[in-house]
Every structure is written in structure tokens, then in C-alpha cells.
Chain A
Amino acid sequence: MRLKLVLELLDVPGQLLDALNPIGRLGANIVAVIHQRDVKTERGTIPVQITIEGDEETLNKVLKMLETKGIQIIQVDGILRKEKITTILIGNIIDQDVKDTVNILNQLDGVRVADLDLKMSDHPEHSASKIIIEADYGRKKLVTSKIKEIGSNKGFLVINEV
């Protein structure tokens, strides 16, 4: 079977070879590589389209290997890969305007707040809000650390995923 991947590589020499070499070693065939150095993402990285061929097990190994090497796979067979990140904030939601938090998150590149749910408590200073975020694959760490930062600035208790 064939798999068309879009990888996101840093614009430094050797990156592409670093990604391609182990693919062959795992026993998959590289059918095509489309590498346009002049097309950059907003983050300054270069999307590289590769098509690989092999049995299912081999292809799974390739995906896992790329991930452990920290190479972002942003598309698989034309479908954008997204991560869902859930977080809960506890604090004075009214005074510390949750909308503003949502805006800060939406301004992050490749990050979108998909859902927001509020629950007021008898003690307004302990109200809770749940935020569900959709982010490009591999952005989770960045998003959770941003949320922590917002939490400590605004005095929210942040409950992130484990």
C-alpha cells in the first residue's frame, strides 16, 4: 500500500536526508519526494511531500520512527492531522475574562479554540471553564505551556491533560 505524507522540516541542510534515510532502512520504498524550498509555512518550516510504499506494518513503523525523531507529520493522504487538547481553568472567570484567554490561544500559529464551556460556582471566584483546542499535530507542548503561563498571569488554576 501507498501513503502520501506531508512532513514539516526545518530549513537547515541535512534535515531531508535525516528523515528519508531511515525510511529505506525500515524496508519501505520511497516512491516520490516533492521538496520546494521556496514554499515556507508561517512558522518558517518547509513542507515536504513524500510518497512511500510498503506493507501496513512497515508503514506504521515509519510513522512511529518519524514521530520519535521529532519530525512533524502534518498530513496523511491529504488529511490534515490535528491534535485535540482539553484544559480546565478554575478561577474568577468574569474578572479575568476567559474570552481574552481564548483570543491569546487563537493567536498562536496552527491553534484554534474549538469549544468553550463555562460553569459558574456559588463562589464566583472558583468558577470553572473548559477549553477544547484543536492544534496542528505536534503543537501540544507549546499550547499547554502557553496555558500554564496564562494561568499564572491571571491567577487561574490550570488543569491540563496528563
Chain B
Amino acid sequence: MRICIIGFGSVGQGVAQVFNMKRDRIKQDYDLDLQLVAVADSKGAVISEEGINPALLLETKQNTGRVSDYPEYGVNGVTGMDLLDTVEYDCLVEVTPTNICDGEPARSHMLKAMNTGRNVVTSNKGPLALGFTELRDTAQDNNVMFKYEASVGGAMPIINFAQETLSGCEIESIYGILNGTTNYILSRMAKEGSSYNQTLNEAQEMNIAETNPTQDVEGEDAACKVVILANSIMNMNVTYNDVMVKGISQITPESIQLAKKEGYLIKLIGEVSHDSLEVSPRLVNEGSPFAVEGTLNVATLKTDLADDVTVVGKGAGSIETASAILSDIISISKSMI
């Protein structure tokens, strides 16, 4: 399968690394040859129909910060859209930054790929949270596959899990910790009794929180995931503005102490149910599946037949997120046979 990656940051590089690690194994196990034919970052691209060497590309990006410095095949100034016009490929991996204002440039990249008959895999929440229906319908109209497991919970299996493993069950609601950064902050506050600001600073020093932490701490990132789950698993037709969002920046050590006295922890919980779409700090029992620490993500799906099913996993990380992208690519290749 000829793959084109747009966006070569943490996740894009993770995908290249995973290709490098697993290419032979995947050829053996699935008779699938993963061929990287084009990669773009914000400054340029590299295009090669014979295939780009992932190890050399990673080295080049690390050394100069540009994929276009790849020997012989690099081209400066080529944009993602240019790439999609010129390259022959089978599947687009869209991993540019999440934009929750208009979903761009990812939205245009994905639509263009679909409209020209290509499959799309993404970890990008923005366009899915703003215009899920448009993307799903465009994929359907063009008879291509659209997979986005990595967009919710990174390596934590949830979308394909609900759609495939739990198929036949009706999913009545989903409750989950869908953001690793806030879970880290709240867990540390509970353990150390430290203030919110102090703990946020610590998380920033450890690169767990971003310099501008708004999307995470104000619940916006989790709200995007709530929308994706509502649309993809619960067949709702909702967008970002339908979610009631409250973040964690007002949580105080005193409130955590009060909760502890009653055997509760405070966690930022995303709720997807037919009654409510909500991201807010909630009380969870200390012994419950939601009592996970660090940057872990967790989600409980309430089903009619299987009762409650809970999944836990790493919500972020370069290789971890790439693992979900790889599994989407493999499942596309299976359906192409």
C-alpha cells in the first residue's frame, strides 16, 4: 500500500518509526507492503514513488527540522494540497495539528483525498469534532475507508473496539477520562496536595502539558473526543458546540481534600449519553476503574448485552498513537482484498 503522510511531528514521526520497526513483520503476517511515497511538514515535502526510507527521513527531520532536506527527493515549499495533486498513493495519513476553529488544513486534506478515491487514516480531532458527518458521508460517497481510532485516547482501543468487538451490543453511554494531561495534573494534586498552578508548571516542565495548556485544561480536547465518540459509536449527529464543557483550572487542593474524606477522587470526565454530552470535573470512587493515575486514559462503555466494559491505555505518545494508526492501516488493507 502506498502511503502519504501529511504532518511530520510527534505522531507522523511515530508512524515512520513504526513502519521502520514493523515493515517486514507486516509483510509476512498480512501480506501488506507498507510503502511510504510522500511526506509533508509545514515547510515542504519529500516524494518518491520507489519509496522513502523511514530511518533516513527521521534522521533528516531530526537534523535539519525539514523533510524537504531528504537527499535527492526533497522539495522545498510544496504544500500538503500540492502533494495530494501530484502523488499516486492509496492511503492518506493526516497528522497535522488539531484546529478546533475550522478544522483546517486537515479538513481540506482529508476531503481532497477522499474525493480522489483515497482511504484516509487520522489522529486529528479538529475536523472530526466540527464536521464529522461531512467527512463520513464524503468517504461513503467515494467508497473509500475513513478510520480515526487514534483521535480518541491515542493507543487506548475504543472506536474500532466498540464498532467491531462489541458489534451487536447497543452502547447506552460512555464515561471516560479522555485527556492525559489533566489526569496527570489531578492525580498529582491528589497525591501531593499541591495547588493547580504549581502542578501545571511541573507538568509543563516535564513536557506533559503544553506551553499553552488551554485545549487540555479547559476540557476542549476532551470535548472533541466526546463529539467523536457520540457520532461514531452512538450514532448521534452532534458537533463541538453541543457539548457542555468545564475544565479543571478552578480545582483547588481543598476541594480534593473534601472529596478524599468521602472516598472520592476528582477527575475530568467526558460523558456521552443520550441525556447529556458533557466534559466536567466529577467525583469518582477511589476503588473504581476511573481511579487511574498519570497520563492514562480510561473509558467505560455501558452496553445492553455485555453490561459495563472498560478499556484503559496510553492516551498519547508518539509510538503509542502510531500503533492505533498502524492498526487502522492494516484493517483498511484487509478490506481492500
Contacts and interface: CB of A to CB of B under 8 A. Distances in A.
A159 B252 contact: no
Given A88-B266, A162-B269, A121 B254 contact: yes
A6 B307 CA distance: 27
B254 A159 contact: no
From B250, B257, B258, name the one whose CB has the most chain A CB atoms within 10 angstroms. B258
A32 B264 CA distance: 42
Contacts of B267: 162
B285 to A, nearest CB: 8
A127 B280 CA distance: 18
Interface string A82-113: 00001110100000000000000000000000
A159 B261 contact: no
A160 B266 CA distance: 9
Contact of B283 (A127, A129, A162): A162
B246 A88 contact: no
Nearest to B258: A130
Contacts of B262: 86, 130, 132
Contacts of A87: 283
Contacts of B7: none
5 contacts: A88-B255, A120-B254, A159-B255, A160-B280, A162-B282
B246 to A, nearest CB: 7
A130 B282 contact: no
Nearest to A115: B262
A81 interface: no
Given A86-B264, A86-B283, A162 B175 contact: yes
A68 to B, nearest CB: 10
B252 A90 contact: yes
Given A120-B254, A121-B254, 18 more contacts: A88-B255, A88-B259, A88-B266, A90-B250, A117-B258, A117-B261, A126-B252, A127-B252, A128-B252, A128-B254, A130-B258, A130-B262, A132-B262, A159-B255, A159-B282, A161-B282, A161-B283, A162-B282
Contacts of B290: 162
Interface residues of A, number: 20
B281 interface: yes
Contacts of A127: 252, 254
A159 B283 contact: yes
B251 interface: yes
A40 interface: no
Contact of B258 (A88, A157, A160, A161): A88
Interface of B: 175, 246, 250-255, 257-259, 261-262, 264, 266-267, 269, 271, 280-284, 288, 290
Contacts of A130: 258-259, 261-262
A121 B253 CA distance: 9
A60 B266 CA distance: 32
A153 to B, nearest CB: 15
A90 B249 CA distance: 11
Contact of A157 (B175, B250, B254, B288): B250
Interface in A128-154: 128-130, 132
A132 B262 CA distance: 9
A-B residue pairs, 8 tightest by C-beta: A128-B255, A119-B254, A130-B258, A162-B282, A128-B254, A161-B283, A157-B250, A159-B281
B246 A157 contact: yes
B257 A157 contact: no
Nearest to A131: B258
A1 to B, nearest CB: 26
A114 to B, nearest CB: 12
Contacts of A132: 262
Contacts of A90: 250-252, 255
Contact of B252 (A117, A121, A158, A162): A121
A157 B251 CA distance: 9
Nearest to B259: A88
From B262, B271, B284, B288, name the one whose CB has the most chain A CB atoms within 10 angstroms. B262
A126 B283 contact: no
A159 B284 contact: no
Contacts of B264: 86, 161
A110 B267 CA distance: 29
Contacts of A129: 258
A31 to B, nearest CB: 31
A157 B282 contact: no
Nearest to A128: B255
A88 B266 CA distance: 10
A63 B258 CA distance: 34
Contacts of A159: 255, 259, 266, 280-283
